[in-house]
A and B are shown apart, each in its own frame.
Chain A
């Protein structure tokens, strides 16, 4: 077995898993190991199965093929992408934090302090702004002292400064509590900074590795368009494509495309199995 390179078994081990709904595979051939102290970031366009993969990892969704294995007594802290609470439910931030398990008053205060909203403990959820609400959700997930934090776009609606601070907090949390983190993000710059491993999804795993590896991979460029690759390169202090005078773009591997965002967004209409097989081949046919 290729596993066993490390002493500690993974917290979550997804093996060749797929989710089939309404006549199609939402994700397929997902292989993912998450270890203690590791931050793994999922990226991919809309509808690429990021949330599905996260739900697969925490066993909210059952795989229709393959399997998902959890370490025994795995404690999960989950921040869902959306949380619609009917206004008829009177829920304060404090009460939200104790939603799935009781918590000590001191721990709640500390968690709210950490996410920067200690003054909102008694505030009702429906009066919170988007950013405040996300912070409350993060506080709720972390107060449980989870073995693994699963965060589905945790900084949506948070302003830029707050975003950086929250990512720093997640990183600090990983360092102090040594938990694993599975993060879903659209935001490449800031996530990339703390993350150990990036997994690029598009119904299947397109490419994965260190942020640098993924940024350099042709699959990544194909999925997000060369511009994303450029912006990532800024972060890594390395440019790998050049804008030609005629508006076309030359990439590090010598290929030339018409413009930067030709492949932006959706990557639809592809037979995924074929795409998987094509992985590793040159992707610069265009």
Chain B
């Protein structure tokens, strides 16, 4: 079954969507969309370095993403530029650096578009193993640290005063994000990873009345977007990443329509 490239892509994509759902919710709640974008853009530098040192691309991406988030934390401490500007600098300079490095390495043939926008043809069995292994680890850690993560999102002072470790939560959150970016790269591509994190979560918001519900709905909506997008990608011969994001956007727009009037009034909250 896994010999079919499309089945591989479907399995990988759904596994990815299940992971990005809960994490995407935290990105939305914490207003860290641009931060996620910066980490994702730095992935290309990770890819270039991975080629240079001849290691697995996912490991390179993970390492660089962690490095970039650490660098950001460090730069934020010395109040020089606003976080906004710092993110802008890091985001685009790492992307540009990656592109330049790849161009210098003339001895390897790189399909840049596949990295930037995802490529369903490129999903190997090893990738599936990485996605499910990594995704399972991410979900397990989130399940385990759900309360401290959520408490730190609501108010770090309260979390700290009442014995949860918000500083630790923040570090764990960054590591999880780096991991998801590393495993998402092949499917949605570097430039569009944030979309897969944010759009399903934003869509889920209108359907949920608890944070936990929102996380589950985000996963399911993400999976729907991945499946629809991949079929569209196959049918119209479009790159997989943009197709998935367009599908996610479609679901989001659907959720904006006043469909809730068909629901019983109790589902609408107060």
Pair B154/A58 contact, Cβ less than 8 Å: no
Given contacts A76-B163, A92-B210, A95-B211, contact A100 B158 (CB under 8 A): yes
Total B residues in contact with A, Cβ cutoff 8 Å:
29
Report the bound CA distance from A127 to B164 in whole Å.
27
The segment out of A26-34, A77-85, A272-280 that lies at the interface is A77-85
A83 and B162 form a contact (CB under 8 A): no
- A78, B154: Cβ atoms under 8 Å? no
Which chain A residues border B158 with CB–CB below 8 Å? 78, 80, 83, 99-100
Pairwise interchain contact B29-A95, C-beta atoms closer than 8 A: no
Identify A101's interface contact among B162, B205, B214, CB under 8 A.
B162
- Enumerate chain A residues within 8 angstroms of B155, measured Cβ to Cβ: 80, 83
- In the complex, chain A residues 137-153 whose Cβ is within 8 Å of any chain B Cβ: 144, 150
What sequence of 0s and 1s flags, for each residue 82-97 of chain A, a beta carbon within 8 Å of any chain B beta carbon?
0101101111100110
A240 at the interface (CB under 8 A from B): no
Chain A residue with the shortest CB-CB distance to B206? A90
Q: Determine if A86 and B211 form an interchain contact, defined as CB atoms under 8 angstroms apart.
A: no
Interface residues of B in 9-46 (CB under 8 A from A): 28-31
Within 8 A of A (CB), among B147-186: 147, 150-151, 153-155, 157-164
Within 8 A of B (CB), among A21-53: none
Q: Which of chain A's residues have a CB closer than 8 A to the CB of B161?
A: 55, 58-60, 76, 78, 150
Is the CB–CB distance between B270 and A123 below 8 Å?
yes
CB distance from B206 to the nearest CB of A (A): 9
Question: Would you call A100 and B151 a contact (CB within 8 A)?
Answer: yes
Q: Is the interface of A mostly helix, strand, loop or mixed?
A: loop
Asked whether B209 is an interface residue with its Cβ less than 8 Å from the other chain, the reply is yes
Identify A78's interface contact among B157, B201, B210, CB under 8 A: B157
Contact between chains at B270 and A90 (CB < 8 Å)? no
CB contacts (< 8 Å) of B209 on chain A: these are: 90, 92, 124
Q: For residue A75, which residues in chain B have a CB less than 8 angstroms away from its CB? A: 163
- Min distance, Cβ B257 to any Cβ of chain A, angstroms: 19
Chain A residues lying within 8 Å of B154, measured Cβ to Cβ, are 83, 85, 89, 91, 96, 99
A89 and B160 alpha carbons, distance in the complex (Å): 20
CB distance from A15 to the nearest CB of B (A): 19
Task: State whether the Cβ of B208 lies closer than 8 Å to any Cβ in chain A.
Answer: yes
Q: Are A100 and B29 in contact, with the CB atoms below 8 A?
A: no
* Distance (whole angstroms) from the CB of B13 to the closest CB of chain A: 25
Q: A95-B211, A99-B151 are in contact. Are A88 and B162 (CB under 8 A)?
A: no
> Considering the complex, which residues of chain B in the window 87-111 have a beta carbon less than 8 Å from any beta carbon of chain A?
none
B258 on the A face (CB < 8 A): no
Contact of B153 with A89 in the complex, beta carbons under 8 Å = yes
Please report which residues of chain A, range 223-265, place their CB below 8 angstroms from some CB of chain B when the two chains form the complex.
none
- Kindly list chain A residues whose C-beta atoms are within 8 Å of the C-beta of B31: 86
Is B213 at the interface (CB under 8 A from chain A)? yes
Q: How far is the CA of A86 from the CA of B28 in the complex (A)?
A: 9
Whether B213 pairs with A100 at a CB distance below 8 angstroms is: no
Chain B residues, CB < 8 A from A85: 154
Instruction: Give Cα A127–Cα B270 distance, bound, in whole angstroms.
Output: 8
Chain A positions within 8 Å of B, measured between CB atoms, are: 55, 58-60, 75-78, 80, 83, 85-86, 88-92, 95-96, 99-101, 122-124, 127, 144, 150
Query: What are 15 inter-chain pairs, A to B, with CB distance below 8 A?
Result: A55-B161, A58-B161, A60-B161, A76-B161, A83-B158, A86-B31, A88-B28, A88-B205, A91-B154, A92-B209, A95-B211, A96-B154, A100-B147, A100-B164, A122-B270
Known: A86-B28, A124-B209. 19 other contacts (CB 8 A): A77-B162, A78-B158, A78-B161, A78-B162, A83-B158, A86-B29, A86-B31, A88-B202, A88-B205, A90-B214, A91-B211, A92-B209, A95-B211, A99-B147, A99-B154, A100-B158, A100-B163, A122-B270, A127-B269
